Amino acid sequence: MLDLVENHVQRFDELDELVDYCKGEHEDVFYLPNDGDTFYMVNGRKIHSTGNTLPMEGCNITEPGIKAVFTKMGVPGLFPSMMAPNETHVTSNFVNKLLDEPSIKRNLSNQQFIVDSRHPDNPIIGMVSKTYLKYSNHSFLEHFLSGNNNHDLDFTRALVDNTKMTIKWSEKKFSGIEIDGRPDRVKLGLYSGNSMIGNATLYFLLSVLDALCTNGIMLPKSIGGSRIVHKGDRIWSSEVENMVNDTRKSYDRVLSQIQTTLNIPFNTDTARIMLENDAPIDIPRDSRVPHKYWTTKRKFADSVESNHALDNSINFVKQIPYKFGGYHTNKIFNSPYRKGNTSMYHFIGAFTEYAQEQPVREQYRIEEEAGELVNWFDKNSSKFFN
């Protein structure tokens, strides 16, 4: 098996802390081009070079780092097999045989290791080609924060996962859309993303922030967004500002989608419509979720079994706000004044409020899939009003 260094993941709720972190990342994450060396693994833990490419003491490995190395070697599916043996020397022997193959040496000749020197073991956190355009998270923040039109955007929170940075920005002003009689509840904004290890472009996507419960929704790129790949000579601050401006042009479309979720009631009939049209509601990865929802693709012995499974799934969907929602969701769905009058916006809010109690990676996944669900309602709204 492989002896891995833990991958670093951190959430930031203060912009100053993120800026300081990214400055250190900028200074201490190094790109080490292959200097014509041969590489070998020791004890399933470290990779060494025969020359000067890697530090003399070798480099430890993270999961994303060794996966990137395997991919560049030309064996992208190797990782699970290398975790199977009980003894690390078995893994090292097999990997070293591969690293000695002429074709794999050629594959690695135009690559560079990405090493995080902030860790005492200098772990390899990624591998990219020598033509990869280095654009650090610190450089992005400098460009974004210096933009002429970005002062109306507030930092909400950020996640850095092995240099893959995702930031949520929200407009200072409210959108004006009225929810539960309040026009001062929803703020539109952006998600920005960047990576220093080649696993993401520089991008902007649209976002929604409910200021009452601080729930977030990430809208899919089909609604609006922009990106730049890590190629060429450099990324200019003006390019970043243009990306921001282009993405913000789609705010009206976001407001229209949110209004659609407010117009669709949440009840037994609409729960059935969601299931019968395969709405993407399988969002929580939780033991309380049935092994399988009823879907149009599931096979049943007969119509009786199918109808029984559908009824069970409808009942579970109706319980989602109570099982997964937090304080704000429970207050809405248990309100005696509403008399059961809730919308799909409130239903989605159960997922996004649940997300806030999850680990950071899971939180961002749920917010992204909540955005896919918003988009699904917009595309399928006619099914709810026939």
CA angle at 357 for the pair 354 and 362, rounded to the nearest 5°: 80
| Strands laid side by side in the 46-49 sheet | 39-42, 46-49, 59-60
How far is it, in rounded angstroms, from Cα 57 to Cα 239? 41
What's the predicted TM-score (pTM) here?
Answer: 0.90
Q: Are 333 and 325 in contact (CB under 8 A)?
A: yes
Residues contacting 113, CB < 8 A, separation 6+? 31, 32, 34, 47, 53, 54, 59, 69, 124, 126, 127
| Coil/strand/helix, residue 237 | helix
Q: What is the pLDDT of residue 86?
A: 83
Going by the DSSP 8-state scheme, the letter that residue 6 receives in this structure is P
| 328 membership: H or E segment, kind and range | helix 327-333
User: 339-344 contacts: CB < 8 A, separation 24 or more?
Assistant: 340/267, 341/265, 342/265, 342/266, 343/261, 343/262, 343/263, 343/264, 343/265, 343/266, 344/261, 344/262, 344/264, 344/265, 344/266, 344/270, 344/377
Q: Are 281 and 290 in contact (CB under 8 A)?
A: no
Q: Are 124 and 114 in contact (CB under 8 A)?
A: yes
Q: Are 67 and 57 in contact (CB under 8 A)?
A: no
How far is it, in rounded angstroms, from Cα 302 to Cα 289? 24
Residues contacting 252, CB < 8 A, separation 6+? none
How far is it, in rounded angstroms, from Cα 269 to Cα 274? 9
79, burial (CB in 10 Å: exposed 0-12, middle 13-18, buried 19+): middle
Two tokens, residue 35? 């200097």
How far is it, in rounded angstroms, from Cα 136 to Cα 145? 14
Q: What is the pLDDT of residue 284?
A: 85
345, burial (CB in 10 Å: exposed 0-12, middle 13-18, buried 19+): buried
Tallying the residues shown for the chain, one arrives at 386
Q: What are phi and psi of 77, to 5 degrees?
A: -95, 15
Q: Which residue from 372, 163, 138 is spatially nearest to 278, judged by alpha carbons? A: 372
Two tokens, residue 54? 């890697």
**pLDDT of the chain, 386 residues: tens digit per residue:** 999 999 889 999 999 999 999 999 999 999 999 999 999 999 999 999 999 999 999 999 999 999 999 999 999 999 999 998 888 889 999 999 999 999 999 999 999 999 999 998 899 999 999 999 999 999 999 999 997 778 899 999 999 999 999 999 999 998 888 888 877 789 999 999 999 999 999 999 999 998 877 788 999 988 999 999 999 889 999 999 999 999 999 999 999 999 999 999 999 999 999 999 999 998 987 766 666 788 888 888 999 999 999 999 999 999 999 999 999 999 999 888 777 689 999 999 999 999 999 988 899 999 999 999 999 999 999 999 87
Q: What is the pLDDT of residue 339?
A: 72
